[in-house]
Amino acid sequence: MGDMAVGANSGSPWSGRTVLITGAAGLLGGWIARDLLGSGASVLGLDNAWDGPRATIPPQGVERIDGDIRNTPLLRDLLSGRHVDTVIHLAAQTLVGPAIEDPVDTFSNNIEGSWSVLEACRSMSVRRIVVASSDKAYGDASGRPYREEMPLRPHHPYDTSKAVTDLLAQTYAYTYGLPVAITRCGNLYGGGDLNWSRIIPGTIRSVLQGDAPVIRSDGTFVRDYLYVRDAAAGVLALADAVGDRPEIAGTAFNFAAGVRLPVIDLVRRILTLMGSQFEPVVLGQPLKEIQDQRVSAARARRLLGWRPRATVESGLRETIDWYRSYLKPGA
Ligand SMILES: NC(=O)c1ccc[n+]([C@@H]2O[C@H](COP(=O)([O-])OP(=O)(O)OC[C@H]3O[C@@H](n4cnc5c(N)ncnc54)[C@H](O)[C@@H]3O)[C@@H](O)[C@H]2O)c1
């Protein structure tokens, strides 16, 4: 991510705005920061693991702030001292397995962290706020694809933490009039993700290292994979809209590519694109996850004019190229 040029665009609505991104060292935060800098915004990136093994390389120009989202006074100081116009709240413990092993840590990070961010925004005049929920917040809601009006019925710790985050954002919009809207994205992928336990980075790295990729499940789990740069565009379209259109506050928006892909097919596509002869190793472990998750992005299309630009092919190609360059011997 750091090796990609960022050119300023003074005609953009983001030009001159100061934006605080929580979780800026993560996958989505890194790409949003890059787009914002390219649009002429100033970016403050708050994260508690800038030097951690999974932190992305931030684009040049991000002001890195080491800190925890549960530190409300720190957030208040940042919002007031730096005249922050927009808050994009992404910071979260995002891995499903660790959430099952240590639910309290995940609840504390994701739920307490979210009310801390929202509470700090309530006390300051932030003009636009986006909070990241997830398609996982729907849990096992009946019917596919998920639509925003469906009830949130999570059963597992990560999913519950995102559903509560989602409801907290709605509460702050309806009770306190905060200009906050919510994203519910499908599974994100793209260069810069160093969470090797996720299927796409894990598969690409295995192949580049000369190992067969491993699928923990039986390979039949269906997901909707969204290229991270399309997700970043969606978050920014929503953030821009919520400042000017009060009717959007408190509203959740699904973002997805609309592709129904079993994990085994995804892995095979990556192998084909990489020209690899490996057969995936399918462990068939029972996972506490929903079998089939897909969301409809019709609302984002209708109200925001958002469209995914990448196909699975083009998104995976760009992603593979990023890891080839990142993992190149000597890089
Ligand atoms: N990646 C996906 O497939 C996906 C899908 C749907 C929704 N989401 C949501 O989108 C958001 C961004 O996802 P991502 O993939 O970029 O996540 P990520 O794991 O790559 O990044 C999250 C960042 O938050 C930071 N963080 C965690 N707890 C913190 C705390 N208490 N204080 C400060 N920083 C903290 C981490 O250090 C990390 O850099 C998350 O809220 C996630 O739940 C992600």
Contacts with 33 (C-beta within 8 Å, 6 or more apart), sequence order: 21, 24, 43, 45, 58, 59, 62
* 112: pLDDT strictly greater than 50: yes
Question: CA 91, CA 165: separation in Å to the nearest integer?
Answer: 11
- The torsion angles phi and psi of 131, rounded to 5 degrees, stand at -115, 130
pLDDT, tens only, 130-189: 999 999 999 987 788 999 999 999 999 999 999 999 999 999 999 999 999 999 999 999
pLDDT tens column, 187-243: 999 999 999 999 999 999 999 999 999 999 999 999 999 999 999 999 999 999 999
Sketch the domain layout of the chain as residue ranges.
18-190+226-257+294-309
Q: Is 49 in the pocket of ligand 1 (CB under 6 A)?
A: yes
6-64 pLDDT, tens digit per residue, is 555 668 999 999 999 999 999 999 999 999 999 999 999 999 999 988 887 778 899 99
- The encoded tokens of residue 142 equal 């009946």
Q: How far is CA 165 from CA 26, 36, 72, 260, 293, in A?
A: 18, 24, 16, 26, 19
What is the pLDDT at residue 241? Answer: 98
Q: Which atom of ligand 1 is nearest to the CA of 109?
A: 31
- Answer positive or negative: Cα dihedral of 25, 217, 164, 243: positive
| Residue nearest to ligand 1 atom 17, measured at CA | 26
The answer, yes or no, to whether any atom of ligand 1 lies below 6 A from the CB of 92, is yes
Residue that is written with structure tokens 């079993």 in the block: 262
CB 254 near ligand 1, within 6 Å: no
| SS3 state of residue 46 | strand
**CA atoms of 89 and 232, how far apart (whole Å):** 13
Q: Is 172 a catalytic residue?
A: no
Give the domain 18-190+226-257+294-309 fold.
Rossmann fold (3.40.50)
Distance CA 234, CA 223 (A): 19
**For residues 63 and 42, what is the distance between their CA atoms, to the nearest angstrom?**
8
Catalytic residue among 138, 158, 172, 225: 158
